[in-house]
Structure 1
Amino acid sequence: MTEIVMQNLGKDFGDFTALANMDLTIGDGEFVALLGPSGCGKSTTMNMIAGMLTPSHGDIRFDGRNMNDVPMAKRGVGFVFQNYAIFTHMTVRDNLAYGLKAQGVSKSEITRRVGEMAELLQLSPMLDRKAAGLSVNILQRLAIGRSAVVEPAIFLLDEPLSNVDAAFRAVMRSELKALQRQFKQTMVYVTHDQLEAMTMADRIAVMDHGKLLQVGTPLEVYNNPVDTFVAQFIGAPGMNLLSGTVTGGDTGNVIDLGSAGHSGPVTTGQGGDVLFGFRPEQVHPDPNGPLEMRIVTVERIGARTILHLDAGARRAKAVLDSETPHPDQGELFRFSVAASDARLFDSATQGAL
């Protein structure tokens, strides 16, 4: 296991800044997801950790040792790419054993470790099959096993599940987490899929346009986003943001939301224009609630119902249990949001208040 420290880390490609001044510590044995949209700098960060790119400035340290000039082969890092890069002319067994043979591991130890990894990743029945005839799902599982079986201190995964089907992604999320717990590796996982990050990572590092915006546990980032980008990027659906104005009410300050009504009492030292944020799951149907919007679309998704709401220029979503009664499409929906669930953002800076 290894602690990774990135200090003032940056990477420029000519006039383009791919990563700007990142400060991030990944603890020994921690599973951290680098999360953000395409082009946010997450793969650039991972490639510098691996040694595939040299930083333009700043430092990368493994357990206190500066790694800036250490070649990839000497970093003790395992890497799994989006494109699995398996030796298709070899059997599953030979693919799993490849890295161990290169390290000079004994035959008996290779047999043991390959057998254990195949069992963990449900590859045992196909150990003697050629990789060329296997499905994409199995090839990606094999690629993960081939890197993991050498037990690197640091395990880097760059969107390894993006090419596989949805059902297999769900299986692999639990298997990757089990793999990390078993080997206690420091794991860095690059993804644009917030569900992957939320379900697997100990902490999430949210990035956008080359900047690290927020680091925290999945619940910390979900409950207390630092700005509107994080608020809407995290969650499915993301946080509702309604434009409003802080005004005085009978029981204290409230947010005037125009034709959508008003919030309950809020605590804020800022007046003027704000964004009133709340999660779709935190909407409570309430015939006496202070908020009212029209239902424009109803999505029924198994145990959940998603209401798409409209009030003039304001849009929102509500996620309800499928058994919860609600008005029909085209009708008005009255609801409330608990004060503890509301989040306020500065309308100009987009930062949390």
Structure 2
Amino acid sequence: MTEIVMQNLGKAFGDFTALADMDLTIGTGEFVALLGPSGCGKSTTMNMIAGMLAPTHGEIRFDGRNMNGVPMAKRGVGFVFQNYAIFTHMTVRENLAYGLKSQGVTAAETRRRVGEIAELLQLTPMLERRAAGLSVNILQRLAIGRSAVVEPAIFLLDEPLSNVDAAFRAVMRSELKALQRQFRQTMVYVTHDQLEAMTMADRIAVMDHGKLLQVGTPLEVYNHPADTFVARFIGAPGMNLLRGRVIGADTGVAVDLGAAGRCPLRSGQGGEVLFGFRPEQVQPDPQGPMQMTVTTVERIGARTILHLAAGDHLAKAVLDSEAETPAQGAELRFSVPADAVRLFDPKTERAL
């Protein structure tokens, strides 16, 4: 197990800055997801950790040792790419054993470790099959197993599930977490899929346009987003953000949302704000202080998503499908718990 420290880490390609001044410590045995949209710098960060790219400035340290200039082969890093690189002329067993043989591991130890990883990843029935005829799902599982079997101190995964089907992704999320718990490797997982990050990672590092915006546990970044990008990006649907003004009301401080009504606040200073609340925190209430028109109703299994509008405001509400649901065109009155409200500065878009 290895601690990874990135200090003032940056990477530029000519005039383009792919990563700007990242400071991030990944603890020994921690599972951290680098989460963000395409082009945000997460793969660039991973490639520098692996030694495939040299930083333009800053340092990467493994357990206090400066890794700048250290080749990938000497970093003790396992890497799984989005596009699996499997030897299709070899059997599953031979693919799994390849790295161990390269390290000079004994035949008996190789058999033991290959058997264990094959069992964990449900590859045992096909150990003697050639990789050439296997499905994409199995090939990706094999790629993960081949890197994991050598038990690297650091395990890097760059969107390994993006090419596989949804059902298989759900299976692999639990298997990857089990793998990390078993070997206690320091694991860095690059993804644009917030569900993968939320369900697997100990902490999430949210990135956008080459900048690290927030680091925290899944619940921390969900409940307390540092800015409006994180608020919108985390959650399905993301956080509602309505322009309003904090005012003093007869019953205390409130935010005036114009056509959408007013929402009481526990505290706040007067002025323009972005009023944030999660769609799941909408509580239908005939006497509620907020009101919006239902424009679309989406029924998705156990959830119903209501699209709402009032003046220039657009929002979403997530309700239990068993609950009574207003029809399209109906008015929805509702409240939002005061402790669920998040306020943001409309100019800086940072949390207040």
Q: What aligned pairs does 1:126-145 form with structure 2 within 5 A after superposition?
A: 126-145=126-145
**Is 1:184 aligned to residue 172 of structure 2?**
no
**In structure 2, distance between residues paired with 1:249 and 1:111:** 73
Q: Which residue of 2 aligns with 1:210?
A: 210
CA displacement, residues 330-350 of structure 1 (integer Å, 9 cap, x when unaligned): 110000001000000011111
**2: CA distance, partners of 1:35 / 1:175:** 20
Deviation at 1:180, TM superposition (A): 0.1
Match of 2:330 in 1: 331
Structure 2 residue 168 is matched with structure 1 residue 168: yes
Structure 2: stretches of 5+ with no match in the other structure: none
Give how far 1:48 is off: 0.2
Q: In the TM superposition, what is the alpha-carbon distance from 1:247 to its structure 2 partner?
A: 1.3
Deviation at 1:236, TM superposition (A): 0.4
**Corresponding residue for 2:306?**
307
- The whole-number CA distance in structure 2 between the counterparts of 1:251 and 1:207 is 40
In 2, Cα distance between the equivalents of 1:234 and 1:265? 23
The one-letter amino acid of 1:164's match is V
Letter in 1 for 2:315: A
**Residues 114-149 of structure 1: CA deviation (Å, up to 9, x unaligned):** 000000000000000010100000000000000000
Q: What's the secondary structure of 1:172's corresponding residue?
A: helix
Decide whether the 8 Å contact of 2:252 with 2:264 is kept in 1. no
| 2:288 paired residue number | 289
Q: Secondary structure at the match of 1:108?
A: helix
The residue number in structure 2 matching 1:341 is: 340
Residue-by-residue CA offset, 1:70-94 (whole Å, 9 max, x unaligned)? 0000000000000001001100000
TM-score (norm 1): 0.99
User: How do 1:82-93 and structure 2 match up within 5 A?
Assistant: 82-93=82-93
Shift of 1:324: 1.2
- Match of residue 349 from structure 2: 350
TM-score, length-scaled by structure 2: 0.99
Partner of 1:76: 76
Q: Give 1:220's aligned residue.
A: 220
**In structure 1, how many angstroms separate the alpha carbons of the residues matched to 2:297 and 2:317?**
10
Q: Distance in 2 between matches of 1:279 and 1:242?
A: 11
Q: Secondary structure, in 3 states, of the residue corresponding to 2:90?
A: coil
1:244-283 equivalent positions in 2, closer than 5 A = 244-269=244-269, 271-283=270-282
Partner of 1:29: 29
Shift of 1:274: 0.6
Encode CA deviations 1:158-195: one digit per residue, 9 max, x unaligned. Answer: 00000000000000000000000000000000000000
1:245-291 superposed Cα distances (whole Å, 9 cap, x missing partner) = 1111012221110111111234113x221110000000000000001
User: SS at 2:18's partner residue?
Assistant: strand
Q: Shift of residue 197 of structure 1?
A: 0.2
Partner SS, residue 329 of structure 1: coil
Counterpart for residue 13 of structure 1: 13
- The residue identity in structure 2 corresponding to 1:326 is T
**Are 1:92 and 1:142, in contact at CA under 8 Å, matched by a contact in 2?**
yes
- Give the CA deviation at 1:222: 0.3
Q: Secondary structure at the match of 1:163?
A: coil
Q: What CA RMSD, in Å, does the superposition of the two structures yield over aligned residues?
A: 0.6
Q: How many residues align?
A: 352
Shift, 1:326, TM fit: 2.6
- Once the two structures are superposed, residues 42-94 of structure 1 have per-residue CA deviations (whole angstroms, 9 ceiling, x without a partner) of 00000000000000000000000000010000000000000001001100000
Partners of 1:22 and 1:212 within 8 A in 2: yes
How far, CA to CA, are the matches of 2:131 and 2:267 in structure 1?
Answer: 60
Q: Which letter maps to 2:162?
A: S
CA contact (8 A) 1:19 1:41 kept: yes
Match of 2:46 in 1: 46
Q: Give 2:114's aligned residue.
A: 114
Q: Can you list the C-alpha shifts for 1:16-65, whole angstroms capped at 9, x where unaligned?
A: 10000000000000000000000000000000000000000000000000
CA distance in 2, matches of 1:302, 1:146: 37
Alignment partners' CA distance in 1, 2:265 and 2:139: 55
Tell whether the 8 Å contact from 1:309 to 1:316 is kept in structure 2 after alignment: yes
User: Secondary structure of the equivalent of 1:190?
Assistant: strand
Q: How far does the alpha carbon of each residue in 1:302-351 deviate from its partner, in whole angstroms, 9 at most, with x for none? A: 11111110111111000011111132111100000010000000111111
Q: After the TM superposition, which of the residue ranges 250-259 and 78-87 deviates more from structure 2?
A: 250-259
Cα distance in 1 between the residues matched to 2:252 and 2:44? 48
SS for the counterpart of 2:181 is: helix
Q: Tell me what 2:235 maps to.
A: 235
Secondary structure of 2:263 counterpart: coil
**Contact 1:8–1:21, Cα closer than 8 Å, also in 2:** yes
User: Amino acid of the residue matched to residue 284 of structure 1?
Assistant: Q
Distance 2:154 2:265 in 1: 48
Counterpart contact for 1:251–1:265, Cα < 8 Å: no
